[in-house]
Chain A
């Protein structure tokens, strides 16, 4: 393994660790739920992405051929992290958690009733007119 590739790998590994840590730090020290939501969805996802790229390069360099598994895991995390963030924000609005930002009232009121069937799922069943 050459020096340049080792520096690149170390840089990716350390920055992955730093981003993962910052995500959890945000989860711990921010002051209301809605701002806490930002740390894990963004910083942690990028941190794990960095680590996965590092792992892919590492297995490529150690002679087993470039490994492409990792792309699948990071792709999966990039698709699922926003979905869970959206659902958790929706649940928090539903429970009317207090927020540092003014909660919206008139233009798009959060659901106070339980909507059945749920309209938020992107491919769940045929369209239904809400009125």
Chain B
């Protein structure tokens, strides 16, 4: 039963990836693209957690944690860039 649930969840997260990626391509504004990137990294965290459950390995959490950290920093840096025109003062 759990393997069926995992398959369904993989399919849903994959569909979420596709939709976010379409939004990333479509735009229309830079903020939309940044939001799509933000969603993509959270989806990547979800995918890694699912892989960790399926393969029964604790290693994937380190990767998920790192992606969560780096993705947040990236989103903040890009948003700051739109607000200010530069990042490093």
Contacts and interface: CB of A to CB of B under 8 A. Distances in A.
A97 B30 CA distance: 10
Contact of A114 (B11, B12, B85): B85
B31 A95 contact: yes
A67 B88 CA distance: 39
- The main secondary structure of chain B at its interface with chain A is helix
Contact of A9 (B5, B13, B39): B5
Interface of B: 1-2, 4-6, 8-13, 15-17, 19-20, 22-23, 29-32, 34-36, 38-39, 42-43, 45-46, 49-50, 52-53, 56, 58, 61, 64-65, 68-69, 72, 75-76, 79-80, 82-85
Would you list the 6 A-B pairs with minimal beta carbon distance, nearest first?
A: A17-B9, A17-B12, A10-B5, A24-B16, A87-B79, A91-B82
